[in-house]
């Protein structure tokens, strides 16, 4: 018979998915608009006529003496600025104006003057100002799941929590800092702080095993919607093993990470790797494979808050042991208008080996700090 804890977890998971699915009726395409330009005009032609007065023919931004207002305009030739945002965000700002993403009101709305095809052509031209095609496009920066790492090199800060719903209670928290290095590399630092319930000593809290990681994107194609990266993580024995806060030895974890954009806003991500302990007398090798499948829906004709329901399948197997399988239904929601702050919730549900493994409730708060202050772009 299914346990009450598992039934509750599944019910919560289904509610998360139902909440996201109910938004489907709100996520419609922007209204069609008759173009104000001849059909043979290219994105470059439209940009030069409609955009270059403020943004300059070279994409670097016109001086304040020309635009007539006191505002630093973006430099489209700066690849660190021009490549991280997906096409949908560029489209929203051009169609609806700057305020739709919490940006300055001096960016006007062109939705009544340009068709969707015109706007996409202008965006494609904007992208040419970054003359280094090695930079992965922001469309490949797929929503973050709880266990599958993203293949996209990112600048993010994440605060995660996980707590069990039965048995000896545990609450795990982790602060993750990610920094992009150059075109295709990323450095990551993860600092865990855990709280454990012990039958004899009550509750205890302590630092877990700190991890440092490096990621390198090997392949990224906007046209195919595909990205592939490799990563290496080093887990250091900083936690107190005797108190249950660490392994007591170093772990090296190489892995490969893959992402693929699918039709109709869907996507799939996967990661596979192995954990190798420094002391095989105290720990075993563990292989793991993880897959996340999901999609993104947006309110307000596709310009508003984004909802991304996902389902992860997570598996791990130690040497000479049985594979442990879990499913993790979850939902990510953007909060700020710029969509640089978001939250997620989910439930990790064991499928097998459930005698000593219990469901976990998972949450995270994510801040894309490169886009701006946590408190900016909310209105």
208 shares a domain with 65: no
Residue 232 in this model has a pLDDT that exceeds 80: yes
252 shares a domain with 366: yes
Q: Would strands 306-318 and 324-334 be described as parallel, antiparallel, or unpaired?
A: antiparallel
Alpha-helical (H) ranges within the chain are 4-21, 43-50, 52-55, 64-67, 79-82, 87-96, 116-127, 299-302
CB neighbour class for 90 (10 Å; exposed up to 12, middle 13-18, buried from 19): buried
16 shares a domain with 50: no
* pLDDT tens for each residue of 281-321: 898 999 999 999 999 999 999 999 999 999 999 999 998 88
Residue 26 in this model has a pLDDT that exceeds 50: no
- Domain assignment present for residue 36? The answer is yes
Domain that holds residue 181: 4-24+137-371
Residues 237 and 208 sit within 8 Å (Cβ to Cβ): no
CA distances from 101 to 94, 223, 242, 337, 344 (A): 10, 25, 49, 5, 20
pLDDT number for residue 228: 98
Residue 25 in this model has a pLDDT that exceeds 50: no
pLDDT number for residue 272: 98
- Domain assignment present for residue 365? The answer is yes
Q: How many domains does the chain have?
A: 2
- Domain assignment present for residue 377? The answer is no
113 shares a domain with 154: no
Tokens of 52: 């270059």
- Domain assignment present for residue 324? The answer is yes
307 shares a domain with 194: yes
In order, the DSSP letters of 218-262 are EEEETTTTEEEEEEEEEE---S-GGGTS--SS-EEEEEEEEEEE-
- 3-class state of residue 216 by DSSP: strand
pLDDT number for residue 347: 96
Confidence of residue 257 (pLDDT cuts 50, 70, 90): very high
Domain limit, last residue, from 88, 105, 127: 127
pLDDT number for residue 201: 62
232 shares a domain with 177: yes
Domain limit, last residue, from 75, 109, 127: 127
- Domain assignment present for residue 359? The answer is yes
The CATH number for 236's domain is 2.40.160.40
The CATH number for 49's domain is 1.10.760.10
90 shares a domain with 152: no
Average pLDDT, the chain: 89
pLDDT number for residue 24: 47
CA-closest candidate to residue 210, choices 183, 230, 190, 180:
190
* pLDDT tens for each residue of 233-252: 999 999 888 777 888 999 99
- Domain assignment present for residue 273? The answer is yes
pTM of the model: 0.89
CA torsion sign for 100, 101, 106, 107 is negative
pLDDT number for residue 169: 77
195 shares a domain with 167: yes
* pLDDT tens for each residue of 123-151: 999 999 999 999 999 999 999 999 999 99
Please provide residue 184's backbone torsions phi and psi, each rounded to the nearest 5 degrees: -135, 15
Report the C-alpha dihedral over residues 249, 255, 261, 267, rounded to 10 degrees.
-40
Please provide residue 85's backbone torsions phi and psi, each rounded to the nearest 5 degrees: -85, 140
Overall residue count recorded for the chain in this entry: 379
- Domain assignment present for residue 376? The answer is no
- 3-class state of residue 16 by DSSP: helix
In order, the DSSP letters of 126-139 are HHTTS--TTSPPGG
pLDDT number for residue 254: 98
362 shares a domain with 288: yes
The average pLDDT across 197-205 equals: 71
pLDDT number for residue 205: 84
Question: Which of 194-198, 222-226, 266-270, 335-339 shows the lowest mean pLDDT across its residues?
Answer: 194-198
347 shares a domain with 208: yes
* pLDDT tens for each residue of 29-77: 555 566 678 888 999 999 999 999 999 999 999 888 888 888 889 999 9
Residue 344 in this model has a pLDDT that exceeds 70: yes
Domain limit, last residue, from 127, 145, 170: 127
- Domain assignment present for residue 379? The answer is no
286 shares a domain with 179: yes
262 shares a domain with 224: yes
């Amino acid at each position: 018979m299914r346990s009450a804890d598992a039934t509750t977890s599944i019910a919560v998971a289904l509610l998360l998915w139902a909440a996201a699915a109910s938004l489907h009726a709100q996520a419609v395409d922007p209204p069609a608009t008759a173009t104000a330009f001849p059909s043979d005009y290219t994105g470059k032609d439209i940009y030069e006529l409609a955009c270059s007065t403020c943004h300059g023919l070279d994409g670097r931004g016109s001086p304040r003496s020309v635009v007539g207002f006191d505002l630093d305009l973006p430099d489209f030739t700066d690849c660190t600025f021009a490549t991280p945002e997906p096409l949908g965000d560029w489209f929203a700002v051009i169609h609806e104006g700057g305020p739709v993403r919490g940006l300055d009101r001096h960016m006007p709305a062109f939705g009544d003057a340009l068709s969707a095809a015109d706007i996409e052509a202008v965006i494609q031209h904007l992208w040419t100002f970054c003359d280094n095609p090695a930079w992965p496009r922001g469309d490949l920066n797929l929503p973050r799941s709880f266990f599958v790492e993203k293949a996209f090199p990112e600048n993010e800060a994440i605060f995660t929590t996980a707590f069990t719903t039965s048995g000896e209670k545990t609450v795990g928290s982790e602060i993750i800092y990610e920094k992009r290095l150059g075109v295709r590399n990323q450095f990551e630092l993860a600092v865990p702080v855990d709280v454990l319930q012990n039958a004899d000593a009550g509750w205890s809290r302590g630092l877990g095993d700190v991890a440092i990681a490096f990621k390198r994107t090997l392949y990224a194609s906007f046209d195919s919607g595909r990205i592939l990266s490799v990563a290496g993580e080093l887990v250091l024995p900083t936690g107190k093993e005797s108190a249950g806060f660490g392994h007591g030895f170093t772990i090296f974890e190489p892995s490969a990470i893959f992402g693929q954009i699918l039709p109709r806003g869907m996507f799939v991500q996967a990661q596979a790797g192995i954990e190798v302990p420094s002391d095989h007398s105290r720990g075993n090798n563990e292989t793991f494979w993880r897959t996340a499948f999901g999609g993104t829906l947006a309110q307000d004709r596709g310009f508003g808050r984004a909802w991304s329901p996902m389902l992860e399948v997570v598996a791990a197997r130690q040497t000479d042991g049985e594979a442990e399988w879990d499913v993790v239904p979850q939902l990510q929601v953007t909060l700020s208008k710029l969509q640089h702050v978001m939250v997620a919730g989910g439930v990790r549900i064991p499928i097998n080996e459930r005698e000593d493994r219990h469901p976990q409730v998972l949450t995270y708060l994510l801040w894309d700090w490169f886009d701006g202050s946590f408190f900016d772009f909310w209105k």
